[in-house]
Amino acid sequence: MNLWHFLAAHRAEVVQLSLEHLFLVAVSTGIAILIGVPLGIALTRRPALSKPILGFANIMQTVPSLALFGFLIPLNIYLFHVRIIGGIGARTAIAALALYALLPIIRNTFTGINGVDPAIREAGRGLGMTDRQLLLQVEVPLALGVIVAGIRVATVIAVGTATIAAAIDAGGLGRYIFRGLRMNDNTLILAGAVPAALLALAADFLLGAVEHSFGRGRRRLNRRHAVAALGAVVVAVVAIVVFTLHSGASRRIAVGSKDFTEQVILGEIVAQTIESRTGLPVERRFDLGGNLAHDALVAGEIDSYVEYTGTALTAILKLPPISDAREVYRRVKAEYAARFHVEWLEPLGFNNTFAILVRGQDASKLGLKTIGDIAKYAPKWRAGFGQDFVSRPDGYEGFVRAYGLKFAEVREMDLSLTYRALADGQVDVIAGNSTDGLIARLGLMQLDDDRHYFPPYDAVPVAREETLKRYPELRAALAALGGAISLEEMRRMNFAVDGEKRAPRDVADEFLRRKKLGGGG
């Protein structure tokens, strides 16, 4: 399916995501204007403050967005009983985007006002204008072109950065991009990226026109303009307050997932099981990037998601890897209860461990069966690993040590891109997931972990103790999933979504019906 057909077929959804995107950008930039312009003006009156404040705004801009999200999610900051920062969703995305937008707005307000011809300022003072009159009637109107230029830069940055907001379930066009990356689907990636780029161009053009009309010094800030501008910003702020109140209003069971296909399918399976077995309304907060699902669970933003024992042990608890599956389960169950008040329920039945993959034709040509077999080819091979694999303690470093491997080159890239890179011959070996549907689709071969290096990654639903206590029927519903999904079944479901482009919701429903576990989401 090409991009045009896709956009035509999903018109309503594209419009919806674009509106979500615009909402994120408009509210965050509006907040940044409300804070940044007065702050920039204050700095012209107290120049001693300009260094620390501009320095802070500068640093904020350099913080990677996922790291900033991870930092903001556990926070609980309230303003008049309304939570303004913290948790997953639009609230935190807006806070992060507003922080990014601050620098250009503060800086341009500051330099714009300082750039007003001193003779004009002195004339104003000499005529008997108060500082306030000078500011509002002379300095701000003359600096308006420069201030709007700052807002323009901030807006264009926000349009781009807002795509990442999909990683914390804040919506927007980033959903298509993340989904496309996950499913290895270029059309889907473009369906997110192209409208986002068009939004950025449109915002740039519109604000450029506004900037131009002010920049010539032709117009001045008359009362009507000022009231209209202020009104627009106030409406934006009211919108976020309403939005924030609304999102925290109703009590449902919130089921989360990480940001890859298997997780979304498992999220659906958990959600549909809860729906059909308990009748409780379920809110789906899927596609949470990095360890954000864990952060969200501990913060009480979600009630349950599916975690892997090995991931919990090493990446979250930071404990050394253990190879015995039952021992790992016992350990994480005890630690989570003590540290997070989170309970590990029954394992689902499959182990999603790292799969060392090569192209099928290489495997048959060179007779590769186990990881040990590649040792002699490795010095001429390029390896492609996900950021996750490279950084975790049970990942790359221990892996090459255990098998005595030395690659010609190691390329670090997004996990979802490694399969395509391997199939296209850009790299020769990757570390994928054993349950990945793409393994079969792209004709890849999984090598046997004959030295048992990789620890077990049994998939297990985790849930907040508090929620389980309040809804005892939840425990029974989740227990029904114990041992219900085999590795083969998981691979098939992954392939149904990644390979056959079917909706995770339908795949989950079909699975639950076939296993007579219920279903019907």
Applying CB under 8 A, the residues found at the interface with another protein are 117, 119-120, 122-130, 133, 137-138, 141-142, 217-220
CA dihedral 281, 287, 292, 294 (to 10 degrees): 50
In the complex, the smallest distance separating the C-beta of residue 39 from another protein, rounded to whole angstroms, is 24
Partnered with residue 282 across adjacent β-strands are 253
For another protein, the closer of residues 219 and 251 by Cβ is 219
From residue 396, give the alpha-carbon distance in Å to each of 407, 413, 432, 455. Answer: 11, 13, 12, 13
CB of 151 to another protein, least distance (A): 19
Q: Which of 82/221 has CB closer to another protein?
A: 221
Q: Closest CB to another protein among 130 and 387?
A: 130
Kind and range of the H or E run holding 307: strand 304-308
Instruction: Name the residue nearer to another protein (CB basis): 124 or 461.
Output: 124
Cβ nearer to another protein, comparing 220 with 501: 220
Cα distance between residue 426 and residue 324, in whole Å: 35
Q: What are phi and psi of 389, to 5 degrees?
A: -65, -40
Helix residue ranges per DSSP H, 63-134: 65-72, 90-114, 118-126, 131-133
Indicate the DSSP class of residue 167: G
Q: In whole angstroms, how close is the CB of 155 to another protein at the nearest point?
A: 24
Write the DSSP string, 297-349.
HHTTS-SEEEEEHHHIIIIIS-PPP---HHHHHHHHHHHHHHHH-EEE----S
Q: Which of 422, 417, 425 is nearest to 388 (CA)?
A: 417
Structure tokens at 204: 């740039």
User: What CA–CA distance (Å, rounded) separates 167 from 439?
Assistant: 25
Closest separation in Å from C-beta 209 to another protein: 18
Judged by beta carbon, residue 141 or residue 347, the one nearer another protein is 141
Task: Provide, rounded to whole angstroms, the least separation between the CB of residue 122 and another protein.
Answer: 6
Nearer to another protein, 142 or 363 (CB): 142
Count Cα neighbours of 374 within 13 Å in the Cβ-side half-sphere.
33
Q: How far is the CB of 421 from another protein (least distance, A)?
A: 56
Q: Beta 409-413 vs 444-447: how paired, if at all?
A: unpaired
Residue tagged 């699975």 (tokens): 511
Q: Which of residues 125 and 411 has its CB atom nearest to another protein in the complex?
A: 125
β-pair partners for 343:
463
Angle between helical axes of 65-72 and 90-114 (0-180°, round to 10): 120
Provide the token pair at 164. Answer: 């990442």
For residue 204, the minimal CB distance to another protein (Å) is 25
* Distance in Å, CB of 134 to another protein, minimum: 10
Q: How far is the CB of 218 from another protein (least distance, A)?
A: 7
Rounded Cα gap, residues 189 and 257, in angstroms: 20
The β-bridge partners of 357 are 430, 446
Indicate the residue among 117 and 473 with the shorter CB distance to another protein: 117
Least separation, in Å, of the C-beta of 156 and another protein? 26
Give 306's strand partners. 461
Closer residue to another protein (CB): 222 or 250: 222
